[in-house]
Amino acid sequence: MNPDCAVFVAGHRGLLGSALVRKLREKGYRRLILRTREELDLRDQAAVREFFAREKPDAVFLAAARVGGIYANATYPAEFIYDNLAIQTNVMDAAYRAGIQKLLFVGTSNIYPEHAPQPLREEYLLTGKLEPTSEPYAIAKIAGLKMCEAYNRQYGTDFMAVMPTNLYGIGDNFDLRTSHVIPALIRKFHEAKRDGAASVEIWGTGDTRREFLFADDLADACIFLMENYSANQIGGFVNVGTGTEITIRGLANMIQRIVGFTGEIQYDPQKPEGMTRKLLDISRLTALGWKPSVSLEEGLRRTYEWFVRKEKTIGTEKK
């Protein structure tokens, strides 16, 4: 893949998709093919096949997906498994039928067993039971990476798969019903500061540990792989993360400081909090020559600054 290629970014208005568009344009890619959900519903097989047959992009970044945090995964399991299976199946198969060789599928670190050894290595896939809360989403993503492998083996395509750790950044979803932990905490602390609240409640004990990756870093990793490697060269799917972790308590304290909220933090241990620990082994990717460049604190500051600028347009009305 090079800047002369026509590149389709599926899900270009999402967190990762928008970061991919920024990074591709920075690198001189001008032939970007972008469609909103209203213009192209990726769950519609006929529409997706017609689109690929007509546009015939040279490369595809499959960043479109239904995503969300613990509450969303527990509340909408049917949508999470159906929408993700439909999107990735339609896009991959239509890409193959249109003769497109180069595709990158974005999965999730939720694919790993709940009690797998830490840090999580690629070979731990399918060695144990999944974490129950995110199981439908994880199963869909496992199907996606296996579909990449199957199409490569049978049809000779070059479909790659990356499994990123927890993402956050500019353009994130700040809806408290469906967001991940970082945008949820940013919004909670921001509104508590704005309203003069005495405290902020956080689900769980605060002791679970998580790894977080700035979306622009993931976009950079995806483009790096597509420009320099094939699926055969990377030896299967690849973890993308930072190799470092932080407790939810430590994360909350960092966001509290960045936002400037001076009240108390109250934890509710009766609420679900997912896997106790989830850290990716990124040695396969670093051996290929890539590493992240944005620290957690810098990424959180950039995300919060964007959130404040966009407050009126991203639905921060008081709940």
Q: What whole-number distance in Å separates Cα of residue 269 and Cα of residue 86?
A: 36
pLDDT surpassing 70 at residue 317: no
- Concerning whether 137 is annotated as a catalytic residue, the answer is yes
For 18-37, how does the pLDDT look when each residue is reduced to its tens digit (9 = 90+)?
Answer: 999 999 999 999 999 999 99
Other C-beta atoms lying within 10 Å of the C-beta of residue 313: 7
For 130-183, how does the pLDDT look when each residue is reduced to its tens digit (9 = 90+)?
Answer: 988 889 999 999 999 999 999 999 999 999 999 999 999 998 888 877 778 899
Please pick, among 76, 112, 137, 267, the residue that the annotation labels catalytic: 137
0.85 surpassed by pTM: yes
Domain coordinates of the chain in residue numbers? 7-309
For 218-276, how does the pLDDT look when each residue is reduced to its tens digit (9 = 90+)?
Answer: 999 999 999 999 998 887 899 999 999 999 999 999 999 999 999 999 998 888 776 67
pLDDT at 313: 60
Burial environment of residue 207 by CB neighbours within 10 A (0 to 12, 13 to 18, 19 or more): middle
- 7-309 folds as Rossmann fold (3.40.50)
For 50-107, how does the pLDDT look when each residue is reduced to its tens digit (9 = 90+)?
Answer: 999 999 999 999 999 988 777 777 788 899 999 999 999 999 999 999 999 999 999 9
Q: What whole-number distance in Å separates Cα of residue 248 and Cα of residue 233?
A: 36
Under 8 Å between Cβ of 77 and 33: no
**288: closest CA among 243, 221, 242?**
221
